[in-house]
A and B are shown apart, each in its own frame.
Chain A
Amino acid sequence: MTYRVGEPVAVAGRAHSGHHRTPSYIKGKTGRIERVHALFRNPETRAYGDDGLPEVPLYLVSFARSELWPDARDVAEHRVFVDVFEHWLEDAK
């Protein structure tokens, strides 16, 4: 587990045409580790008949609403929580 609770992290902005569990609206955005879930099989390979090993760490990451949708002025500030696998996370600049 590379990241600890409370650490700021950036989500990779890379394109990925195959199955993956990282929604576009968090790509390239910065959030904060809220929870270290556990190790899970990798859905990106398991979706194509592979066993999904080795297992990869999954985190609960929170994002400020204003980070994800800076132009949405009609909604109050709140945080959005998304499960993100470690290989989609980078050190926040």
Chain B
Amino acid sequence: MVRGVHDRGGLRTDEPIDRSEHALEDWEVLTDALAGALARRGLVNVDELRRGIESIPPAEYERASYYERWLLSIETILSEKGVLAAGELDRRAAG
């Protein structure tokens, strides 16, 4: 059965589980707020957010942190809907 990169519940591992906590960075708090605001505006619902996360290529999924995956998904969904133009975020980030 094909198993998505996110579908890992119950998989065996010999690696220790990292249970350490960390304080959230400002950008992580803002990312959570952004997802909430987009949901309230009806632009990205939670199922779309999850689908966008699950469609991240496996190597990138493994590299990305939790909220990095949210950001990648939000960019994917907003691009699909034409809210963001192709390359718009990169251009803005470059200043």
Contacts and interface: CB of A to CB of B under 8 A. Distances in A.
A19 B47 contact: yes
A49 B1 contact: no
Q: A interface, by DSSP: helix, strand, loop or mixed?
A: loop
A43 B80 CA distance: 18
Given A17-B2, A46-B45, A25 B9 contact: yes
B51 A23 contact: no
B16 interface: no
Interface residues of A, number: 17
Contacts of B9: 23-25
Interface secondary structure of B, over-half rule: loop
Interface residues of B, number: 14
Given A46-B45, A48-B51, A23 B10 contact: yes
A24 B6 CA distance: 10
A28 to B, nearest CB: 9
A64 B9 CA distance: 15
Interface of B: 1-3, 7, 9-10, 45, 47-48, 50-51, 54, 80-81
A-B interface, 6 closest residue pairs, ranked by CB to CB distance from nearest: A25-B10, A47-B51, A47-B47, A19-B51, A43-B47, A46-B47
Given A19-B47, A47-B48, 9 more contacts: A15-B1, A18-B51, A24-B7, A24-B9, A24-B10, A47-B45, A47-B50, A47-B51, A49-B80
